[in-house]
Amino acid sequence: MKILVVGGAGAMGRWFVDFFRDCGWSVDVSDPDADDSVPLERADEYDVVAVAVPIDATPDVIKDVASRMSDGLLMDITSVKREPVKAMRAAPDDVELLGTHPMFGPSVRSMRGQTVIVVRERSGPLAERVVDAFSDAGANVQEATAREHDEMMSVVQGLTHYSLVSIGGALERLDFDVDESRRFMSPVYEIVLDFVGRVLNQNPELYAEIQMNQPVGDVHDAVIESAETLRDAVSDEDVEAFTDEMLDAARHYGDTKSALRRSDKLIEANVREYEELHASVGEERVLRHIYSGNVHIGEVRRIEGRTVVLEKESGVVELKTENVELLNDEEAREWKRNSLPRRKRDISAVFEATLDEEVLEEVVESCHRDILSASVFDIYDGDAIPDGKTSYSLRLEVLDDGAVEEAVETAQETLEGMGGEIR
């Protein structure tokens, strides 16, 4: 399938270029900032044209693309739906139309666990292939009409963005030292402030466009009214009024206990990795930088507040704990297997009786984390070997991460532990 991503040099456009290519499809880009930009005049040469441009430009770009297509699929990738879908309807009847809203930003590594909202305005086989690709990638695909989408997003995005940016603005007006305050925060409050920072780290023009292209007037009024009610209750020292506001909100919210359990899991996961880092002092660990994707392997020397000090072969590096993730044993081994050079080492041992070769290989392979494979390549019971004994020679494939000889010694000790005599 041939896909043209209009706006493919932007952050989300690039993300979907990579996603579609990972699906095995041929992808080109139409974007003035791209090195090899395809002119929109060629849009009809593609099976799918995906529009991923700023919100305020999306309807006009869609109309331009729609006028150049005779068949295929026209889809958009943006945070609002009514105007883009309305613009799509100008396309000829043989053009499939699909609105999409990925509920994530370009910093995520995959769709797994993410929500994608789709508007099947004029569905067909091409649209279904794209939606199936989202599902196959592990996305939570939800269907809505354009109107349902925008009404729901006025709260899901409009309310949350408005509230979090307001908190950030309040911190600025108070001249509050966020970094210094972290010494006094519990994990739950730190997570809340991190969500404030997460939003503030985004493109402010995008967030302004989301606010100004959604029906958020009533949403803003409701936030302000609730805030004023709480402020008046505190100012009047009216505990009952404050309590009533909070209880009314809780009753309307519904299942607050489930929300508590879900947030507890988030807090526990955050704390658990920090505890694992502390428990790793003096041991080799593999850390991956969340944003750059760079992987650091070395001995954890110490944890200093929110900094992990890692001693690598190239020297000591200090990493912010919030910027890295600790790979588990399986993930670390897989990264080593794919990234590190390998060495081959041969070892031989004489045993009293005939052994099962597969068992011997499995035991040696599992005795050290850096041994990728152990295979018997020679069995000998000739004149140089005492009667009743057999010599087994194994070829080890070992990761070259600075512990090759340690791995070989461990393999030899394992063979001796099985009753073998190293030759």
**Which of the listed residues 252, 284, 301 is the one where a domain comes to its end?**
252
Q: Same structural domain for residues 199 and 282?
A: no
- Asked if residue 122 and residue 12 are part of one domain, the reply reads yes
Q: Is residue 239 part of a domain?
A: yes
Residues 243 and 378 in one domain: no
Q: What's the rounded Cα separation, in Å, for the pair 320 and 289? A: 9
Burial class (CB in 10 A: 0-12, 13-18, 19+), 380: middle
User: Quick one: which H or E segment has residue 371?
Assistant: strand 371-380
| Whole-number Å distance between alpha carbons of 331 and 288 | 10
- Predicted pLDDT at 411: 93
The structural domain count of the chain equals: 4
Domain match, 83 and 205 both? no
Q: Is residue 181, in this structure, part of any structural domain at all? A: yes
Is residue 262 one of the residues assigned to a domain?
A: no
- Owning domain of residue 284: 276-336
- Cα–Cα distance measured from residue 207 to residue 199, given in angstroms and rounded to the nearest whole number: 9
For residues 52-79, one letter each, b for 16 or more C-beta atoms within 10 angstroms of the residue's C-beta and e for the rest, the string is bbebeebbebbebbbebbeebbbbbbbb
| Predicted local confidence at residue 314, as pLDDT | 83
**Same domain? 21 vs 99:** yes
Among 252, 284, 315, give the residue marking a domain's end: 252
pLDDT for residue 109: 86
Is 270 part of a structural domain of the chain?
A: no
Give the closest residue to 13 by CA, choosing from 97, 102, 80: 102
Q: Is 423:349 a contact under the CB 8 Å cutoff?
A: yes
Q: What is the CATH number of the domain that holds 100?
A: 3.40.50.720
| 265 domain residue, yes or no | no
Residues 344 and 329 occupy one common structural domain: no
Which letter does DSSP use for residue 37 in this model?
A: B
pLDDT at 184: 84
Model pTM score: 0.65
Phi, psi of 26 (to 5 degrees): -85, 125
* Residue 164 amino acid letter: L
- The whole-number pLDDT of residue 90 equals 94
pLDDT digits (tens, 9 = 90+) for 291-333: 778 899 889 998 887 789 999 878 899 998 878 888 888 888 7
Q: Does 178 share its domain with 290? A: no
Q: Could you tell me the CATH number of the domain that includes residue 305?
A: 2.30.30.100
Strands in 96-102's sheet, in edge-to-edge order, are 26-30, 2-6, 48-51, 73-77, 96-102, 115-122, 140-143
CATH assignment of the domain containing 358: 3.30.70.380
Look at residues 146, 181, 205 and tell me which one is the last residue of a structural domain: 146
pLDDT tens sequence across 170-210: 999 999 999 888 888 888 888 899 899 989 998 899 899 88
pLDDT score of 400 = 84
Do 14 and 141 lie in a common domain? Answer: yes
376 falls within a domain: yes
Residues 358 and 315 in one domain: no
**Helix segments in 106-216, DSSP class H:** 125-136, 146-156, 158-173, 178-181, 187-200, 204-212
In a domain, 264, yes or no: no
Residues of the chain with pLDDT under 50: none
Residues 246 and 282 in one domain: no
Domain assignment of residue 128, yes or no: yes
Residues paired with residue 101 on neighbouring β-strands, in sequence order: 117
- For residues 227 and 170, membership in a common domain is answered with yes
Structure tokens, 171: 């911190």
**Hey, CA dihedral for 152, 155, 158, 161, is it positive or negative?**
negative
Q: Are residues 137 and 189 in the same domain?
A: no
Nearest CA to 349 among 336, 360, 338, 335?
A: 360
